[in-house]
Amino acid sequence: MAKVFIVPEGCSLITDGKISLLIKNDLKESLLTQGILRPHTLIAQNSSLAVHLKGRGFLSSIPLQGSNGIKMIVKHCLRGGLIRFLTKDIFWQRNRPFNEMVTNREILQKGIKTTEIIAAAQHTLVGPFYKAYLFSKELPESIDVISYCNTLQHCSPEQRFRKKKYLFQSLAKAIFKMHHAGIYHCDLHLKNILIQQRADELPEIYIIDFDKAVIKKKLSPRERIKNLLRFNRSIEKLRLKGGKITRTDQMIFFKEYFIYDSDTATLFEKNRKRYSALLRLRKVKWSFINLTTKMFTSSAK
């Protein structure tokens, strides 16, 4: 590593050949015994036990050794955006998985519900290039917002409305709490929010994947709106594909959020027409991309 990395309290930084590992001290012995220093091999050896979860690539759910049923999610990090077509899983930003683990610890300390990262690994390839892995405790009985809304289709219209109203009010409260803590989530979308539903209990909201998150003392109303619009874009993209989230759901979400934040509500209303115009332009772009993708897919068959 080219620059000094400050190891957070309660963690250790271990280097073994081309592998650098940041790991929680209370789980160090068991994780090292389980083979965490060879993440690719660990995934392969546990392939018969692992449950593969859909995400950006695949996330493997592996039993955590000696933990009385707790499982860990092993994430082989993949790139997003257009650059993923050039370098699918190769990174060069220094200490990116380590920084995400440090950010995760800070976010948990602020009382934000998210999954806990227990280790992060960098496997050096050549020069500054490396592959990255993240290990986190699995959140049992949880699904993302899209999947949760799909499960409500079997409910009666009255039950579905009531459950979705509670869901989007809870989402607004969770995101407001995150913003109030000074956290700007750079990738806030429907897949990065998990719903934990236990029997006979109301669902709980967990916000995940704080890669590149920005933490400040305070977010401005403009920054909050920018983050809210980022989240709303994921809803609009889903609606274009026939997803099960309605305009009413969106209205419930924004109305609930603005109850807690009048300054942001005032700025939003002042610029509503401009935000709507920008969204219309984005929809044209998305429709063009979807059409082009279908054309290429059809011609390839």
Give the lowest-confidence range in 13-27, 29-43, 225-239: 29-43
Domain boundaries, the chain: 11-137, 142-287
SS3 letters across the chain: CCCCCCCCCCEEEEEECCEEEEEEHHHHHHHHHHCCCCHHHHHHHCCCCCEEEEECEEEEEEECCCCCCCEEEEEECCCCCHHHHCCCCCECCCCHHHHHHHHHHHHHHCCCCCCCEEEEEEEECCCCCEEEEEEEECCCCEEEHHHHHHHHHHCCHHHHHHHHHHHHHHHHHHHHHHHHCCEECCCCCHHHEEEECCCCCCCEEEECCCCCCEECCCCCHHHHHHHHHHHHHHHHHHHHCCCCCCHHHHHHHHHHHHHHCHHHHHHHHHCHHHHHHHHHHHHHHHHHHHHHHHHHHHHHC
- Assigned token pair, 16: 């073994």
- Assigned token pair, 177: 């709490």
- Of residues 232 and 83, the one with the higher pLDDT is 232
Top-ranked range on mean pLDDT: pick from 58-72, 154-168, 277-291:
154-168
For residue 2, the model assigns a pLDDT of 43
Mean pLDDT of 277-284: 90
* pTM of full prediction above 0.85: yes
> 213-253 pLDDT, tens per residue?
999 999 999 999 999 999 999 999 999 888 899 999 999 99
pLDDT at 156 over 80: yes
pLDDT at 52 over 80: no
- Type of residue at 252: I
> 105-123 pLDDT, tens per residue?
999 999 999 999 999 999 9
pLDDT at 294 over 90: no
288 pLDDT band, cuts 50/70/90, is confident
Mean pLDDT of 144-151: 93
Q: Is CATH 1.10.510 the classification given to domain 142-287?
A: yes
- % of the chain with per-residue pLDDT over 70: 90
Angle at 177 between CA 175 and CA 150, to 5 degrees: 30
In 3D space, the residue among 107, 237, 130 whose CA is nearest the CA of residue 181 turns out to be: 107
Which residues fall within 8 angstroms of residue 189, CB to CB, at 6 or more apart? 230, 231, 233, 234
Residue pointed to by tokens 């000074």: 182
For residue 148, the model assigns a pLDDT of 93
> 190-205 pLDDT, tens per residue?
999 999 987 777 889 9
In 3D space, the residue among 131, 121, 110 whose CA is nearest the CA of residue 72 turns out to be: 121
pLDDT at 1 over 50: no
For residue 55, the model assigns a pLDDT of 46
